[in-house]
Amino acid sequence: MSSNDLPSVALAAFAGSPGANLPALRGHNAALVLGLLRTAGEDGVSRPELAAHTGLTPQAVSKITARLRAEGLAAEAGRRASTGGKPATALRLVPGARHAIGLHLDRDELTTVRTDLAGEAVAVRRAPLAFEAGAEQLLATAAREVAALRAESDGTPVLGVGAACPGPLDHATGVLHRVTGSPHWDGFPLRDALADRLGLPVVLDKDTNAAALGLARDLPPGAGSFGYLHLGTGLGAGLVLGGGLYRGPRTGAGEFGHQTIQWDGPRCGCGRCGCIEALCLAAVARDDLPGAARALGVGAANLVELLDIDRVLLGGRTVLAHPAPFLDGVTEALADRARTRGGSTARAAIPVVLARGGPRTVADGAAELVLAPLFGAVPAPRTT
């Protein structure tokens, strides 16, 4: 297998063309099992547990795990205590079997990570970047950083590169749209340009989407919903609904910053009035972090109300600089909502936590753009 092939067991799954045949079925089940192995982590999962979780027969699980072991993606991990019979053998993912690269193309900095199959970063690089300086400089910087990351690698196959940058852009075609502040990028096919330059498959997505996808790997495959709110120079969101990242038809979902929460409020740069982003950034500018958090909290409550999500994650430079007031303010807004909407089936307040990864949340998530298709090709939001 050449270094940029995906593992054959997990190819295709049921994505892409909707008609399913035997290889697709095989890939689907292999991805499902790989996803469970990944979620289990170091401790591993036993074959009977895999059978129970997937609904497959034990014999099928044995065959599938045998193939995964033959490809080097899974390995035995000791024995479980007996439950009255032959003790089960635990199986675990072999994280180092493949690597992925994540690129966070921010306005002033390029963060590059190489991660293992578990999504853990094994190498990180940072370089200054002038996003508005044009394509050639960006491609050259990216090529240099990725080459450096690959040089450190001891021959582990790299599956591909995930690239995350500020939106708007089209994930499906890999083309940038009118990036705020850098209009000349409009229409540039960044995904294909990067793929040509790097000689690796590339997946492009918005920074907020990449971050949310990366954070979704803490969830059991195919379940769980959360919103990731990213407050930096702007305000955006990544939505994970029913275990899957929701991008919307044009990769336009998650424009959280321009939700109107004060109809008659101050005018925002977008032309409308009372956007969360305008209220939030104005409060930040006058050092009123609790005020910014309150605005964020109103938006978060709207999000929870509309999408029935399980938790809210916060990230982005502004939040990371002073996490406490934001966590407190948003938590309070959601607790308030839980109280007022209580009724007899009292709703628990939605937890608000800081997103894992700190300044590397987006870069880690970018790598996850490459890794996610290998694991648990479970459909997102339930369709009936």
Instruction: Spell out the alpha helix ranges (H) of 94-234.
Output: 135-152, 190-198, 207-215
Which of 204, 281, 284, 377 is close enough to bind a copy of itself by CB under 8 A? 377
Q: What are the backbone angles phi and psi of residue 49, rounded to the nearest 5°?
A: -65, -40
**At closest approach, how far in Å is the CB of 48 from DNA?**
4
Q: Note whether 18 binds DNA by CB under 7 A.
A: no
51/354 with CB nearer DNA? 51
Q: Note whether 331 binds a copy of itself by CB under 8 A.
A: no
From CA 7, how far away is CA 38, in angstroms rounded? 15
The bridge status of strand 99-105 relative to strand 158-165 is: parallel
The kind and range of the H/E element at 93 are: strand 89-93
Exposed e or buried b per residue across 338-365, where buried means at least 16 C-beta atoms within 10 angstroms of its C-beta? eeeeeeeeeeebbebebbebebbbbbbb
272/317 with CB nearer a copy of itself? 272
Q: Note whether 203 binds a copy of itself by CB under 8 A.
A: yes
Binding mask 151-170 for a copy of itself (x = CB under 8 A): -----------------x--
My answer on whether omega of the bond before 359 falls inside 30° of 0, hence cis, is: no
Sign of CA dihedral 54, 58, 64, 68: positive
Show contacts with DNA in window 269-308 (CB under 7 A).
none
The piece of 3-11, 93-101, 250-258, 318-326 that touches a copy of itself (CB under 8 A) is 250-258
Q: Note whether 140 binds a copy of itself by CB under 8 A.
A: no
* 337 contact choice in DNA, a copy of itself, none (CB below 5 to 8 Å, kind-dependent): a copy of itself
Show contacts with DNA in window 35-94 (CB under 7 A).
46-48, 56-60, 62-66, 82-89
Chain positions contacting DNA, by CB under 7 A: 19-23, 25-26, 29, 46-48, 56-60, 62-66, 82-89
